[in-house]
Amino acid sequence: MKKIAVLTSGGDSPGMNAAVRAVVRKALFHDVEVYGVYQGYLGLLTNNIKPMERGTVGDKIQRGGTFLQSARCPEFKDKEVRQKGIDNLNALGIEGLVVVGGDGSYRGAQRLSEEGINTIGIPGTIDNDINGTDFTIGFDTALNTIIDAIDKIRDTASSHERTFIIEVMGRDAGDLALWSALAGGAETVLVPEHKKDIKEVADKIQQGIERGKKHSIIVVAEGVMSGDECAEQLKKYINVDTRVSVLGHMQRGGSPSGVDRVLASRLGAYAVELLMEGESGLAVGIQNNKLTKTKFEDIFSSQHVLDERMFRLTNELSI
Ligand code: ATP
């Protein structure tokens, strides 16, 4: 394989730049020409494809977001539309493509693989909701951003004896909520994978108050309900002073953590190795600290599952 390209797609995540850097440098190290596709799949269609040099990815490893930019491109689901992208790659002699993104981006990559472009996926999303890998790029950074917020909120919650509801990202996956609740010492976590009775939550807060607890922190994943809705529902059962904090897009930003930079570098380089070996239709990942590859169809065949043991532990430690 003499020419490959890389793009970032879907929601951005800290560490995408480190992954792109690794793809570019690893390819150049092996004398493979490498192109960057700007604006994800949209850039494939608009031919926004530019050669990458060593220096193009200089001073990028520490930056959040994605310098290649990302865009939603729903029309990419259409085969005829995709063919335009394939034609653009063919015109440049590009035979392989690395796609950094989430589940949706993998579906586009799978289609391209079936239609003649060798593709490898790299898991780039803060949600940690992709099968075939223990961790996605950006999860660790987002987790630390949330923990930092919880620690700060805890200070003020304690001073004013308040119950704080912290709404975090996670439409379908509760990993960010669960890990941050455990690491932040939250009293309660609400995740999409488990229905929890709000009365139970209220009872627990009440018991805490009776024991002399100064504050309570509830972490709620956006996929369960909004922070405001959670506060409304709590009011039905308990009379406490509640405040809601919606962390929002700050969770997606910031300089990637060391863990994310290392993960991105390892996965980016591995993706290039696989393309050089003629592999396609696979996503790379890390399982038990070993690099792994998984067919896209296996990734899509089951739902991401929450770590039940950790869920129980979070509840046990917050008594
Ligand atoms: P995140 O998890 O951060 O939202 P994602 O990769 O799942 O990331 P999506 O918006 O679902 O984000 O998908 C990104 C892009 O992938 C879409 O804009 C579209 O261009 C492409 N895509 C999604 N689903 C398909 C599909 N079924 N077939 C072809 N392309 C798809």
pLDDT digits (tens, 9 = 90+) for 5-47: 999 999 999 999 999 999 999 999 999 999 999 999 999 999 9
Note whether 130 and 102 are within 8 A (CB): yes
**Which of 7, 9, 113, 122 has the most ligand 1 atoms within 8 A of CB, as the residue to mutate?**
9
CB 126 within 8 A of CB 252: yes
| CATH of the structural domain 3-138+256-300, one choice from 3.40.50.300, 3.30.565.10, 3.60.20.10, 3.40.50.450 | 3.40.50.450
From 12, 127, 129, 140, active-site residue = 127
Q: In the chain, which residues fall in CATH 3.40.50.450?
A: 3-138+256-300
ipTM of the predicted structure?
0.96
Contact 165, 232 (CB under 8 A): no
pTM of the prediction?
0.96
How far apart (Å, rounded) are the C-alpha atoms in residues 301 and 318? 35
List, in sequence order, the alpha helices (H) in the chain: 16-29, 40-45, 79-92, 103-114, 139-160, 175-184, 198-210, 227-235, 258-276, 296-300, 308-317
Ligand 1 atom 16: residue of nearest CA: 105
Q: Which superfamily does CATH assign the domain made up of 140-252 to?
A: Phosphofructokinase domain (3.40.50.460)
Confidence of residue 161 (pLDDT cuts 50, 70, 90): confident
State the distance from the centre of ligand 1 to the C-alpha of 22, rounded, in angstroms.
23
Q: Which atom of ligand 1 is nearest to the CA of 127?
A: 2
Residues in the chain: 319
CA of 202 to the centre of ligand 1 (A): 38
Alpha-carbon distance values, 17 to 107, 114, 229 (Å)? 21, 27, 36
Distance separating alpha carbons of residues 6 and 16, to the nearest angstrom: 11
Q: Which residues line ligand 1 (CB under 6 A)?
A: 9-11, 41, 72-74, 76-77, 101-105, 107-108, 111, 125, 127
User: Residue range 93-110: average pLDDT?
Assistant: 97
Signed CA dihedral, 23, 89, 50, 72: sign only: negative
Q: How far is the CA of 136 from the centre of ligand 1 (A)?
A: 16
Give catalytic status of residue 87 as yes or no: no
Q: How confident is the model at residue 277 (pLDDT cuts 50, 70, 90)?
A: very high
In the chain, which residues fall in CATH 3.40.50.460? 140-252
Q: Over the stretch 57-98, which tens digit does the pLDDT of each residue have?
A: 999 999 999 999 999 899 999 999 999 999 999 999 999 999
Question: Which residue's CA is the closest to the ligand 1 atom numbered 12?
Answer: 10
Atom of ligand 1 nearest to the CA of 72: 18
Q: Is the pLDDT reported for residue 209 higher than 90?
A: no
Kindly tell me if the per-residue pLDDT of 232 is higher than 80: yes
Closest-lying ligand 1 atom to the alpha carbon of residue 71: 18
